[in-house]
């Protein structure tokens, strides 16, 4: 097996050369302006930080943020969250509305847009939207041990200006009584956490607790219980790539969460937290080269949650 440094460098070199990079998301106009890049970072449980390519360039983490908002909301309301959001893969695109009618406004899982909007609504309890947004940002900064992480307000505004589907999802759930706040307010929180900008290094740092049974491996401090870390990992594996989740599990074999900004957070339990970024997307709205890179890296390093 190669050294991790060598494996990362090899994967990054190969991805940087490739011309079939997928298509950048343009439905949020601000995301369409990003240059084709590739970055990858691994932070191991024994404290090594290994970077390759554009690993220090911030990008819009978009739906990857849903891992952090779910973690925060579970900390607030515990398992009561599951009365309002399911835990099943949707088998549908991330912004689909079709299941909501049959399932009485209860989204399939916390990682599709509808589920994450309910999670935002939970985080709003007792807060003004700006306080809830601040709490989410501070939590992510705390996880990554990096106060320089910011929210890109232009991306949030761009998404709000074109967020007709998300408004439809939120209004529809409100009609079923599954939002406590006005749709406008829950969406304000949602658009802003999706607009958090992070580099691969920062994202991999923020994911450390999930690779280490709920504890920050650097400080030994518990972020969530071991059971909760396992469960968040299970949801990432089954629902983290929308209707591409089965394929990602099949090809890569570790829990992952993607975003339309082209980022993916990958977790190798007991070993490392990984982040990869390449803005071109595949047909399911997941980073095309990011998925290929994680598949190659996992194979090179013999990483899989199914490995003996």
Q: Annotated catalytic sites, by residue?
A: 63, 66, 190, 242, 260
SS3 at position 86: coil
Would you give the binding string for ligand DON spanning residues 20-59, x where CB under 6 A is met? ----------------------------------------
Task: State how far the Cα of 129 lies from the Cα of 187, in Å rounded to an integer.
Answer: 9
What residues does 51 pair with on adjacent strands?
41
CB 131 → ligand DON: shortest distance, Å? 21
* Beta-sheet pairing, 256-258 with 196-198: unpaired
Interface size with ligand DON, residues (CB under 6 A)? 13
Which position's Cβ is nearest ligand DON? 63
Task: State how far the Cα of 271 lies from the Cα of 42, in Å rounded to an integer.
Answer: 10
Residue 55's nearest CA partner among 65, 66, 42 is: 42
Residue of 44, 45, 96, 166 that binds ligand DON (CB under 6 A): 166
Window 190-249: residues binding ligand DON (CB under 6 A): 194
Give CB contacts under 8 A, 24+ apart, made by 226-233. 228/71, 228/74, 230/269, 232/67, 232/70, 232/71, 232/74, 233/267, 233/269
Q: Quick check: 7 binds ligand DON (CB under 6 A)?
A: no
Task: State how far the Cα of 95 lies from the Cα of 179, in Å rounded to an integer.
Answer: 17
Q: Quick check: 120 binds ligand DON (CB under 6 A)?
A: no
Contact 178, 99 (CB under 8 A): no
What phi-psi label fits residue 149: left (phi over 0), alpha (psi between -120 and 50 degrees) or beta? beta
Q: Quick check: 71 binds ligand DON (CB under 6 A)?
A: no
CB 63 → ligand DON: shortest distance, Å? 3
Cβ distance to ligand DON smaller for residue 54 or 159: 159
CB 71 → ligand DON: shortest distance, Å? 17
Q: Quick check: 258 binds ligand DON (CB under 6 A)?
A: yes
Cβ distance to ligand DON smaller for residue 14 or 247: 247
Cβ distance to ligand DON smaller for residue 254 or 264: 264
- The widest CA-to-CA distance across the chain, in whole angstroms, is 55
Would you give the binding string for ligand DON spanning residues 84-113, x where CB under 6 A is met? ----------xx-----------------x
SS3 at position 281: strand
Residues that bind ligand DON (CB under 6 A): 62-63, 94-95, 113, 159, 166, 194, 258-260, 285-286
């Amino acid at each position: 097996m190669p050294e991790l440094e060598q494996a990362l460098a090899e994967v990054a070199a190969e991805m940087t050369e490739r011309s079939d990079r997928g298509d950048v998301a343009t439905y949020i106009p601000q995301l369409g302006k990003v240059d084709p890049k590739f970055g990858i970072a691994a932070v191991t449980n024994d404290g090594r930080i290994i970077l390759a390519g554009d690993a220090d360039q911030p990008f819009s983490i978009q739906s990857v943020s849903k891992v952090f908002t779910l973690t925060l909301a579970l900390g607030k309301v515990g398992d009561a969250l599951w009365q309002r959001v399911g835990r099943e893969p949707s088998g549908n695109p991330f912004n689909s509305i079709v299941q909501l009618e049959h399932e009485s406004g209860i989204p399939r899982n916390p990682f599709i847009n509808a589920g994450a909007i309910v999670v935002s609504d939970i985080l709003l309890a007792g807060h003004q939207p700006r306080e809830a947004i601040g709490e989410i940002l501070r939590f992510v900064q705390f996880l990554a041990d990096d106060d320089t992480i910011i929210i890109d307000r232009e991306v949030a505004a761009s998404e709000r200006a074109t967020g007709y589907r998300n408004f439809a999802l939120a209004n529809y759930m409100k009609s079923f009584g599954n939002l406590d706040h006005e749709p406008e307010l829950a969406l304000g929180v949602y658009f802003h956490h999706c607009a958090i900008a992070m580099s691969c290094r920062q994202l991999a740092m923020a994911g450390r607790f999930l690779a280490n049974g709920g504890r920050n491996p650097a400080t030994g401090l518990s972020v969530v219980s071991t059971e909760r870390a396992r469960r968040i990992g299970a949801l990432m594996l089954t629902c983290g790539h929308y209707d591409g989740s089965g394929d990602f599990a099949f090809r890569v074999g570790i829990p992952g969460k993607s975003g339309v900004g082209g980022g993916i957070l990958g977790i190798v339990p007991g070993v490392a937290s990984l982040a990869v970024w390449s803005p071109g997307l595949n047909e399911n709205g997941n980073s095309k080269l990011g998925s290929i890179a994680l598949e190659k890296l996992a194979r090179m390093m013999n990483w899989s949650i199914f490995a003996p």
